[in-house]
């Protein structure tokens, strides 16, 4: 038996054992055990719905005593193979049977999507990349190019600098814009950028949209791993976002200068897709336009603005300083251009 198979057997044993304990203790296997979040629409402070077994496994793996395991080549290879295998399973007709239970478990409002009838999705993969019903996500001040909007149905934190982002949220030792895009010149262009970090859970809509109006300046796809992007993982010493597979766009704008959009894969995400037409420099884009989609699992998006170019909405800034995520939807307000500090070079 190879080491990869040994990892799989250990994982299955731990998963089964934790499920057994939950049953014995009469705890819900899929309650609000995730990171603290505030629902922007309702004002309700809650914890994200998350399997308790996943929460416990994250704590076991991403802590100062054991996080070294996550940096080993063997673990990275195992996670990668597991993600690819999961994606293949969810592309089969048999996976359709998962959809009804998934919708009921997470209380997904299918009236927001098109088609709304789950029987119209042939596989779980088709369901996973479901599209919004037109009009279900209005774009805030759609005709105002000086306003930026939320890029995904997700949980977001915003910080005015990379330094503050590292201090409060993304603790990986190698997190810099340069390492994120693997380009020294581009990294310097976004030195001490303001950062909006969006995190998508498996139950979320997994298409993503432009935060701003402008023109595509650059595109690049970077291969990598598929680590978890849960807050517990992000606040460990493991370099999650700079190791995971990702694709990015640079969008040139009139009011914000250049804006960096990075879509980052995570556990069980087999593909990070940017629509082909947006991979070509010179292509115009409007805020709210669909950029692409993730396949299969949880994922993350980083949007970076040049220093001084944006004033994030105050509610987002205030909650982020408390390390509280804000549950948001595509098209909600993210912030306004700051003409005084705007960079255009």
Q: Which residues are catalytic?
A: 153, 209, 299
Nearest C-alpha neighbor of 57 from the set 83, 18, 85, 20: 18
Place of tokens 């088709």: 126
80's tokens:
């990668």
Place of tokens 């190791």: 243
Can you list the pairs that 121-127 forms with residues at least 24 positions away whose Cβ atoms lie under 8 Å? 121/96, 122/93, 122/96, 123/90, 123/91, 123/92, 123/93, 123/95, 123/96, 124/90, 124/91, 124/95, 124/96, 124/98, 124/99, 125/87, 125/90, 125/91, 125/95, 125/295, 125/296, 127/96, 127/99, 127/102
Q: Could you give the residue ranges of the DSSP H alpha helices within the chain?
A: 3-25, 52-61, 73-90, 98-106, 124-128, 162-168, 177-181, 184-189, 231-234, 314-321
Based on the number of CB atoms within 10 Å of its own CB, is 276 exposed (0-12), middle (13-18) or buried (19 or more)?
exposed
User: What DSSP letter does each residue of 153-185 carry, written as one string?
Assistant: SEEEEEESSHHHHHHHT---TT--HHHHHT-HH
Residues 6+ apart with CB under 8 A from 232: 35, 55, 58, 59, 62
């Amino acid at each position: 038996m190879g080491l990869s198979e040994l990892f799989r057997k250990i994982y299955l044993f731990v998963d089964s054992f934790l499920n057994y304990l939950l049953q014995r203790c009469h705890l819900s296997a899929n309650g609000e055990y995730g990171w603290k979040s505030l629902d922007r629409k309702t004002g309700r402070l809650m914890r994200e719905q998350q399997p308790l077994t996943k929460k416990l496994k994250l704590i076991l793996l991403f802590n100062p005593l054991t996080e070294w395991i996550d940096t080993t080549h063997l673990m990275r290879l195992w996670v990668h193979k597991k993600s690819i295998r999961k994606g293949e399973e969810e592309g089969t007709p048999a996976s359709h049977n998962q959809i009804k239970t998934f919708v009921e478990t997470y209380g997904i409002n299918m009236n927001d999507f098109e088609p709304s009838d789950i029987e119209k999705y042939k596989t779980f993969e088709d369901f996973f990349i479901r599209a919004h019903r037109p009009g279900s996500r209005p774009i805030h001040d759609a005709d105002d190019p000086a306003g930026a909007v939320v890029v995904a149905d997700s949980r977001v934190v915003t910080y005015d600098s990379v330094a503050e982002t590292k201090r409060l949220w993304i603790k990986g030792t190698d997190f810099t814009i340069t390492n994120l895009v693997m380009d020294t010149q581009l990294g310097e262009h976004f030195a001490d950028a303001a950062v909006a970090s969006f995190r998508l859970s498996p139950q979320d809509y997994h298409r993503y949209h432009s935060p701003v109006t402008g023109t595509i300046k650059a595109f690049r796809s970077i291969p990598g791993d598929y680590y978890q992007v849960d807050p517990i993982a992000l606040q460990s010493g493991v370099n999650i976002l700079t190791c995971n597979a990702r694709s990015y766009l640079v969008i040139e704008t009139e009011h914000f200068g250049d804006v960096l959009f990075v879509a980052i894969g995570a556990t069980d995400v087999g593909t990070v897709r940017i629509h082909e037409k947006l991979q070509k420099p010179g292509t115009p884009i409007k805020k709210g336009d669909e950029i692409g989609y993730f396949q299969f699992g949880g994922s993350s998006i980083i949007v970076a603005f040049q220093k001084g170019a944006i004033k994030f909405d105050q509610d987002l800034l205030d909650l982020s300083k408390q390390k509280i995520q804000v549950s948001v939807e595509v098209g909600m307000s993210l912030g306004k251009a700051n003409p005084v500090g705007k960079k255009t070079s």
